[in-house]
Amino acid sequence: MNILITGSTDGIGKLTALKLAKEGHEVYIHGRNKAKVDSVIAEIKNASNNENIKGFVADFSDLNAVKQLAEQIKNEVSSLDVLINNAGIFKAPLQKTKDGLDIRMSVNYLAPYILTESIVSILEKGSETRIVNLSSAAQSTVKKGILTGAVSINASDAYAQSKLALTMWSFHFAKQHPNITTIAVNPGSLLNTKMAKEAYGQHWSPAEKGVDILYDLATSDAYKDATGKYFDNDKGETIGRFSPAHPDAYDEVKISELLEITNRII
Q: Residue 189 in contact with residue 235, Cβ under 8 Å?
A: no
Residue type, 56: F
Burial of 51 (0-12, 13-18, 19+ CB in 10 A): exposed
pLDDT > 90: what percent of the chain? 85
User: How many structural domains is the chain composed of?
Assistant: 1
The pLDDT tens digits of the residues spanning 173-221 come to: 999 999 999 999 998 765 555 654 555 455 555 667 778 899 999 999 9
Q: What is the DSSP letter of 142?
A: P
What is the value of pTM for the model shown? 0.94
Q: Residue 99: which of 72, 71, 66 has the closest Cα?
A: 66
pLDDT of residue 208: 72
Q: Residue 57 in contact with residue 30, Cβ under 8 Å?
A: yes
pLDDT of residue 237: 66
Q: What is the DSSP letter of 222?
A: G
pLDDT of residue 202: 53
Domain that holds residue 134: 2-265
CATH number of residue 23's parent domain:
3.40.50.720
